[in-house]
Amino acid sequence: MLSPPLSPRIRTNLLRWYDGNHRVLPWRAPELRGNAYAIWVSEIMLQQTRVAVVIPYFQRFLARFPDLASLARAPLSEVLRQWSGLGYYRRARQLHAGAQWLLAQAEGEFPRDFAAAMRVPGVGRYTAGAVLSMAYGLPLPAVDGNVRRVLQRLAGRALSPASLEKMAQSLVLPRRPGDFNQALMELGALICLPARPQCSVCPLRRHCRYQLGCGKTSAAMPRSAAVPVLKTLHAHYGLLRNRRRIWLTQRPASAGWMPELWELPEITADQCAAFGVRLRLRHAITRFRIDARVHPIRQLPQPGPGAWFLPAEAAALPLTGLTRKILRRLQFLKPG
């Protein structure tokens, strides 16, 4: 654990750096300051997803569902449609369920205390701490992957979740807790990088045991988990057209992956042998890289549930991200 006298300097240095260097991001816009709903949406979207990917989704989502009530009252299919392409669809379902729960139980307002926030479906310690500190100024820690890495390097050793929480709580600045939490996250995202921390330009370098230990010992320096290697999957899809319509099929509600989303009918490698390849593309999703081939077919290799859709109708469906990408490449859908 850090020695207590270091803490004030860490806070001051970190916040000074943050004030002069933080990125301009839509969820940090002045008009959204104190907007717990918008911060909640951004925090859910940012889980396991890069900032650059999240930005357009966040902007479209807020334009379509400007407040918690509008999200709660929207059909799940519309929420999934807005989420289409962002991946980890469970997050969209939980956000929607949480909004409905809050509308029914808390008059549509995100709770203002930690215990109540933890009762919202899909909200865990991190999300509760992030939203309450950023929206309402509560002095709560918010330990995500970036913060975990920064704190462990500051401490010079691996820390248990409880110790990390305690350390973050001891550092969080009561006067600006939301900015302080964001500053730690920002430092992890821009300077204290997993593989190559930029210690020479870090505002905390004088207080960091990882940096002070550089060149002396590596034993006390917690290493980041190895970046997982994406596994490649090969997929074949049938492209069945009927004049201006296209055949799409809906994944079953029981599917473990992207339930109830719409996609092109999947066919096996054997079934597609008789057809040419109209399009081939790669698509990354969670831990997988999909090598997808699209084959023009005249009929389905086997009967299956589905329906014909015109372009405007398909655009309004909750499509898988891969299907939306394919239909845009084929110019069946307009670029988004």
Residue numbers at the binding site for ligand SF4 (CB under 6 A): 150, 153-154, 191-192, 197-199, 202, 204-205, 208, 210-211
d(CA 145, CA 245): 45
| Residues 233 and 269 sit within 8 Å (Cβ to Cβ) | no
d(CA 158, CA 223): 8
**Number of neighbours of residue 147 by Cβ within 10 angstroms:** 24
Q: Exactly one of 31, 43, 260, 313 is catalytic; name it.
A: 43
* DSSP class per residue in 10-62: HHHHHHHHHHHH----GGG-GGGTT-HHHHHHHHHHHTTS-HHHHHHHHHHHH
Residue 201: CB minimum distance to ligand SF4, A = 8
Residue 156: CB minimum distance to ligand SF4, A = 9
What's the one-letter identity of residue 200? S
d(CA 189, CA 178): 16
Q: Which tokens hold the place of 269?
A: 């490698």
- Burial class of 306 by CB neighbour count within 10 A (0 to 12, 13 to 18, 19+): middle
Residue 114: CB minimum distance to ligand SF4, A = 27
For residue 235, what are the β-bridge partners? 292
Q: Which of 204, 294 has the CB closer to ligand SF4?
A: 204
Q: Which of 25, 199 has the CB closer to ligand SF4?
A: 199
Q: Which of 153, 251 has the CB closer to ligand SF4?
A: 153
Cα dist from 151 to 114, 155, 276, 335, whole Å: 22, 6, 54, 42
Look up residue 227 and give its DSSP letter: P
Reduce the DSSP state of residue 81 to 3 states and report it: helix
Q: Which of 223, 231 has the CB closer to ligand SF4?
A: 223
Residue 34: CB minimum distance to ligand SF4, A = 29
Residue 206: CB minimum distance to ligand SF4, A = 8
Q: Which of 204, 258 has the CB closer to ligand SF4?
A: 204
| Residues 248 and 323 sit within 8 Å (Cβ to Cβ) | yes
Pairing state of beta strands 266-267 and 245-250?
A: unpaired
43 is catalytic: yes
Look up residue 272 and give its DSSP letter: G
Q: Which of 170, 198 has the CB closer to ligand SF4?
A: 198
Residue 229: CB minimum distance to ligand SF4, A = 25
The set of catalytic residues is 43
